[in-house]
């Protein structure tokens, strides 16, 4: 289920992204939103030929609205209805570029939290020098306790095992220094808890080496994580714009130039995965173009096809040596 009304460029870019995704995967896609606005852009027959249907709902939760109030007030908001479709087994996943707070709230209300997890987290997969790494939490929770960071680390570990296929992922805690004595109270308390965890905690990691592929999972609260994520996106765009012409002077192959720039493009990575709920949801940047939506839909398809959520739950169960939630089926 794709939230057609969420995002700065909705519904145009969202629909376009869904259409582009349909050309790469064998799946039935549902656009959730105002059918009048959607059909003004593309005819029902055209969308049907792309295996895309429309589920009508008339309301939108805008970026400047308070999520908890908007969810209660707007019964037929597109992001809320999309998660309801998953709850009622009419869809397998949700993709949205809308209000992230409304996304997280809707996910928890409709899918429920995994047992043993107190707060969900958004995990973003970012490119490192030699391999990708996971940043968790990248925006779901601005206020956290140490046990929440501990739980984020467990979920990040499970995602790295299940999706990145790393047997023993290295887990780092984002701080202002490598030493265990560095950081605020939250980080210091989380450090102590992670020292005694069943996962491969390697200590603190500083922002200067974030992309050096020293760790596979970087753990932080959602406030810090979102600042890091958006700063990285801004710097990457700045570098692309600033040095594109200079890079072309020193690289003979246009293909190699585009390959290098592709690694700097956050839209290539789709969106962040919400972890800690009994289901699959991917939240994209509010400024997402069709390319980001396409890649998010393709990512969701691969998650479902390979039953990644099932594997995450099994891995959490293994490391905790107890049941942490019900299994969630894929396609």
Q: What is the pLDDT of residue 320?
A: 79
What structural domains and CATH numbers belong to the chain? 2-320 (3.40.718.10)
Cβ 235 vs Cβ 229: under 8 Å: no
Pair type for strands 29-33 and 121-127: unpaired
Which tokens sit at 101? 């707070």
Model confidence at 327, pLDDT cuts 50, 70, 90, reads very low
Q: Distance of CA 180 to CAs 40, 133, 157, 212, 219, Å?
A: 58, 22, 20, 20, 15
Indicate the average pLDDT of the chain. 91
Mean pLDDT over 131-157 rounds to 96
How many Å apart are CA 85 and CA 304, to the nearest integer? 16
Does a cis peptide bond (omega within 30 degrees of 0) precede residue 11? yes
Q: What is the pLDDT of residue 124?
A: 96
How many Å apart are CA 262 and CA 265, to the nearest integer? 5
The yes-or-no verdict on residue 72 having pLDDT over 80 is: yes
Q: What is the pLDDT of residue 245?
A: 64
* Range of weakest confidence among 207-211, 245-249, 282-286: 245-249
Q: What is the pLDDT of residue 324?
A: 42
How many Å apart are CA 116 and CA 278, to the nearest integer? 12
* Range of weakest confidence among 266-270, 273-277, 278-282: 266-270
Q: How far is CA 154 from the centre of its chain?
A: 16
Q: What is the pLDDT of residue 259?
A: 61
The yes-or-no verdict on residue 330 having pLDDT over 70 is: no
Cβ 221 vs Cβ 186: under 8 Å: yes
Q: Distance of CA 233 to CAs 139, 169, 220, 230, 269, Å?
A: 14, 25, 18, 5, 11
Q: What is the pLDDT of residue 328?
A: 44
Q: What is the pLDDT of residue 64?
A: 94
The yes-or-no verdict on residue 8 having pLDDT over 80 is: yes
Contacts for 104 with CB less than 8 Å, ≥ 6 apart: 67, 120, 122, 140, 274, 283
Mean pLDDT over 150-170 rounds to 97
Mean pLDDT over 294-311 rounds to 95
Cβ 19 vs Cβ 49: under 8 Å: no
């Amino acid at each position: 289920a794709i939230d057609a009304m969420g995002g700065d460029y909705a519904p145009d870019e969202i629909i376009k992204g869904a259409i582009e995704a349909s050309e790469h995967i064998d799946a039935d896609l549902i656009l959730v939103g105002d059918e009048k606005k959607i059909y003004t852009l593309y005819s029902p027959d055209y969308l049907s030929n792309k295996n895309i249907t429309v589920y009508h709902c008339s309301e939108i939760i805008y970026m400047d609205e308070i999520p908890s109030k908007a969810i209660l007030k707007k019964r037929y908001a597109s992001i809320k209805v999309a998660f309801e479709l998953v709850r009622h087994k009419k869809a397998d996943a949700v993709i949205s570029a809308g209000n992230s707070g409304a996304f997280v709230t809707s996910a928890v209300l409709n899918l429920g939290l995994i047992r043993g997890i107190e707060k969900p987290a958004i995990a973003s997969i970012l490119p490192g020098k030699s391999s990708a790494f996971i940043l968790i939490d990248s925006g779901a929770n601005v206020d956290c306790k140490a046990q929440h960071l501990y739980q984020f680390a467990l979920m990040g570990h499970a995602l790295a095992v299940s999706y990145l296929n790393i047997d023993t992922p290295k887990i780092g805690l984002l701080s202002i220094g490598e030493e265990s004595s560095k950081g605020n109270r939250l980080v210091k308390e989380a450090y102590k808890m992670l020292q005694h965890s069943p996962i491969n905690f390697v200590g603190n990691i500083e922002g200067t080496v974030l992309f050096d592929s020293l760790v596979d999972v970087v753990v932080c609260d959602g406030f810090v994580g979102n600042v890091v994520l958006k700063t990285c996106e801004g710097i990457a765009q700045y570098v692309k714009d600033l040095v594109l012409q200079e890079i072309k002077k020193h690289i003979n192959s246009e293909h190699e130039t585009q390959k290098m720039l592709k690694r700097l493009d956050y839209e290539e990575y789709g969106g962040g995965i919400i972890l800690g709920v009994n289901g699959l949801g991917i939240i994209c940047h509010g400024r997402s173009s069709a390319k980001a939506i396409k890649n998010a839909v393709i990512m969701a398809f691969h998650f479902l096809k390979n039953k990644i959520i099932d594997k995450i739950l099994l891995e959490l169960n293994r490391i905790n040596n107890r049941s942490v939630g019900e299994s969630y089926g894929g396609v």
